[in-house]
Each structure stands twice: as structure tokens, then as C-alpha cells.
Amino acid sequence: MAAAFGINKTLTCFPQPEVITQSFSDCELKQATISAIFPGNLRVSLIRVAEPENSAVTGQPRWPSQAGTTLSSVWLDGVEQFYCQAKGCTGQNQSQAISSVASETKWGTYNWTCSSLQCYCIPGTTMCNDNGPFPLSSLIASITGSLSLPCDYADPSNETATHACAFKGEVLQKFLGDAGLPLQNCRSGSCMAQGTLDSFWANEAATAGAAGHKSSD
């Protein structure tokens, strides 16, 4: 899409975790130990960017996003506690599902991985209060390395369907196990020009066709 000319500019909602240009997600954080220490409404928000949206096509306001990045935030009762930034991010489908419920995994699973992750405390918040009963400042600052954000696809026939994700990294999995931070009842989506979506599916089909032809040689 070198130019906007000829592109279908009709805005389209894409309610799936797959990142075409950029994707926004909101999830419930369901982890027994963390919920016991910090009771309340725990949520995680995710902004994943494959490439900044072309505002000339969508008509949406510009914002300073960067390609191949992720911004995630952990919230407790509506107050942001800490956030993480990651770069070197790309996505692809994977065979291993997140949910253990078969009916929620039949649509497939998408994994967004990043090569570099760093998390930061917000001073004075419940989780980052060094004078509180369970200060996590040092632990949160130590969350570095790679990041994996696998998400099951939502039921495409149900506009209100939610899906499961996980927030995985070396430090988190060391303390919490292989499942990392389990994220449930997620809603993901993005708005983009219909032409952008059409081009993406055409490229996907061409790539799949080329791979199938190569494997048959």
C-alpha cells in the first residue's frame, strides 16, 4: 500500500487478537497468588503494533506508535500499577492453545513474540509501594528478556465473544510457572481501512499458496 489511491477506505472493525497493523486488548488477570495478595479487579491492557496505522487512509488521529512494539499495563481497581514495553515483536499462528476448553480453541491460536522486554513500576501505587506489605518494585524491575503473548482466536460468528491469552516471559515463568500470567475474558480489536484488511488476506493467501507449492515439489 504505497499510496492511498484506490484503497477502500471504509473503516472496519477486526475483533481478533491477530495484529494486522495495530491491536488493542483488555483482559482480566486471573492468577491465584496475585489475586490473593492484591484482591480487587485486576486487568491487563495491551497495545501491539505491527506497523503504525496510516491516518491518511483511516482518518483516525495520529499517535506516536512504533512498528514491532508492545505496551502493556496492569491495572488494579482502575488504577494503573505498572507497565511494560517490548520491541522486536512479530506474530504468527501456533498449534498450542491457551484455553483448556475445547470449544474455545477450535478457531486457532495466535502468538505475538518480542525479543526485548522491560517493565516499570509506577511509584506510590498499591503494587509498587515499598512501604506496603507486599512491595513488588524490585521484582517488576527485574522483568526483562523476551516476551510471548499467545491468544486464542475468538468465535468469529459471535460479536461479543471473548478469548484467552497469556503473558509469558522468563522471569514471570520462573516465579509463576510455565503458564505465566493467565489472561481471561479478553476482548481484542482494531479499526482499519477495509482495503488494508483485504490486502492482508490477499498476502496471507499468496504466502500459504507459495508454501504449499514448495512443499509439494
The pLDDT of 138-154, averaged and rounded, is 95
CB 109 within 8 A of CB 97: yes
**Strand ranges in the chain using DSSP code E only, listed in sequence order:** 11-14, 22-29, 42-49, 69-76, 79-94, 109-121, 144-152, 163-167, 181-193
pLDDT of residue 125 exceeding 90: yes
Q: What is the pLDDT of residue 62?
A: 57
Q: Which distant-in-sequence residues (6+ apart) come within 8 Å of 104 by Cβ? A: 97, 152, 163, 164
Mean of the per-residue pLDDT values of the chain: 86
Average pLDDT over residues 58-83: 84
pLDDT value at position 54? 60
Above 70 in pLDDT, residue 3?
no
SS3 assignment, position 12: strand
Answer with the residue of higher pLDDT: 198 or 112: 112
Predicted TM-score (pTM) of the model is: 0.83
Local structure of 65: helix, strand or coil: coil
Between 51 and 90, the more confident residue is 90
Least confident of 1-15, 95-109, 161-175, 191-205: 1-15
Phi-psi region of 169 (alpha: psi -120 to 50; beta: other; left: phi over 0): beta
pLDDT: is 82 or 56 the higher one?
82
